[in-house]
Amino acid sequence: MKIAVLKETRPGEKRVAITPQVVRSLVQMGHLVSVEEHAGVGSHFSNELYVEAGAEVLTRNALVTAEMYVQINMPEPDQYKQLPKGSVWVSQIYHRSNPESIEGFNKAGISVLSLDAIPRISRAQSMDVLSSQANLAGYRAVIEGAYHLDKIFPLLMTAAGTVTPAKVLIFGVGVAGLQAIATAKRLGAVVEATDVRPETKEQVQSLGGKFIEVKGVEVGSQGGYANEASEEYRSAQREAVNKSLSQADLVITTALVPGRKAPILIDDEQLALMKSGSVLIDMAAEQGGNCIQTEPGKVSVKGGVKIVGAVNMPSELSANASELFARNVWELLKLIAPKGELMLDRNDEIIQGCLICSNGEIYHKA
């Protein structure tokens, strides 16, 4: 199969979907790999490294005969017009929020495999790009918070007196939240966390954090994602976390609902509770933000609180992020093209979950 690896066009994106190491594995499997020139520069993978691995490096205009096109981010609005009929598009596409894009690919006769739609089941863990990238983002969020905070994280005892440890509060105990807890603890902070899923309490405690329980109201999860919280839950959560919020030096919010705008967890009233000099890293900024005052991609100060609208944090760790993403794609390709030929078996639970459209039919509506 002819596989084309495209250079990312999103502003500020430094990652690449396939690394030279994975190219080598794909070539050994029997595939022909073409890489758009300079696609890996942001992750420190030169054109020469791709050639050494067995790929050919071409301009974008020359990548017109591939059977599969792979990149990380959303395709451009008219991307499907540039691809040959019968080919396969592989990327994160967030089909629930982008029905027009799916419609365009489908009408053009192009199949779409959405990497963000891979089901969160045990068998698919090695293919889960959302988890691999969120893991790095959780780490980066703490480092970003430490950079913006005007105090250190650990307890420090000096001849001039004792410096108390920073207090960190984390909303959301998914992959990113757990990594943020672990990183903040390693840096010596006192960490508290809250989540709509009561079963995450044990995970928080295992990392040395304190879990803030919202008693009497539960939300739970489905398919590896937290369900959307009710107004009753949000009201109870506000009451449970407000004391911790007022004492926190660093707050990290990670709450997302697939296909929906991010829920507001910190409104103006709660923002006013936060102390001057504290920092809020909003990891949900791209989907509207968990804080009502978040501006995506910007750092703003409201009432003495520095609000960071974190956007595409894995790109800031491009080398590791690209390596993990490429391995996720490699594991998927081992499933769908094990002998050099594409086989999309819709009876397979993984393919069933991430194959959005094929053969003129849309399988997953927005």
> What averages of pLDDT result for each successive group of 10 residues across the chain (366 residues)?
96 97 95 97 98 97 95 93 95 92 95 96 96 97 97 95 96 96 98 92 97 74 60 79 96 88 93 97 96 97 97 97 98 91 92 95 88
pLDDT at 233: 74
**Rounded Cα distance, 287 and 301, in Å:** 20
| Same domain, residue pair 353 and 297 | no
Asked, for residue 11, whether it belongs to a domain, the answer is: yes
Distances 199 to 119, 202, 214, 265 between C-alpha atoms, Å = 20, 7, 12, 20
**Residues near 158 by Cβ (< 8 Å), separated by ≥ 6?**
none
Q: Are residues 301 and 336 both part of a single domain?
A: no
Cβ contacts of 88 within 8 Å, gap of 6 or more: 67, 68, 69, 110, 111, 112, 113, 342
Same domain, 283 and 348: no
Instruction: For residue 32, give both structure tokens.
Output: 């022909």
Q: Which residues are catalytic?
A: 120, 125, 128, 131, 225
Q: For tokens 């506000």, what's the residue?
A: 238
At residue 14, φ and ψ (nearest 5 deg) are: -110, -5
CA-wise closest residue to 143 among 272, 359, 320: 320
Is 189 in the same domain as 68?
no
Q: Are 312 and 140 in contact (CB under 8 A)?
A: no
| pLDDT digit string, tens, across residues 62-121 | 999 999 999 999 999 899 999 999 999 999 999 988 999 999 999 999 999 999 999 999
Per the structure, the count of domains in the chain is: 2
90 with 229, same domain? no
- 365 in any annotated domain: no
**What tokens does 165 get?**
């440890």
Residue 179, token pair as written in the block: 């990594």
* Domain contains 68: yes
Same domain membership, residue 280 and residue 332: no
- Let me know whether 261 and 335 are in one domain: no
Closest CA to 281 of 160, 180, 131, 179: 180
- Please check whether residues 208 and 300 belong to one and the same domain: yes
**b vs e for 103-136, b when ≥16 Cβ sit within 10 Å of the residue's Cβ?**
ebbbebbbbbbbbbbbbeeeebeebbbbbbbbbb
- Is 207 part of any domain? yes
Cα–Cα distance for residue pair 237/195, rounded to 1 Å: 9
Same structural domain for residues 224 and 110?
no
Residues 82 and 22 in one domain: yes
| In contact, 65 and 320? CB cutoff 8 Å | no
Q: In this structure, is residue 167 part of a structural domain?
A: yes
Q: What is the pTM of this model?
A: 0.91
Same domain, 221 and 183: yes
- Distance CA(107)–CA(78), nearest Å, equals 12
Cα-trace Rg, the chain: 22
CA–CA gap between residue 306 and residue 287 (Å, rounded): 19
Cβ atoms of residues 325 and 129 within 8 Å: yes
- Give CA separation, 226 vs 83, 195, 319, 354, in Å: 36, 9, 30, 19
In terms of residue numbers, what domain contains 10? Answer: 2-127+317-358
Please indicate, yes or no, whether residues 265 and 354 belong to a single structural domain of this protein. no
Residue 140 lies in a domain: no
Alpha-helical regions (H) of 310-361: 318-336, 349-354
CATH number at residue 258: 3.40.50.720
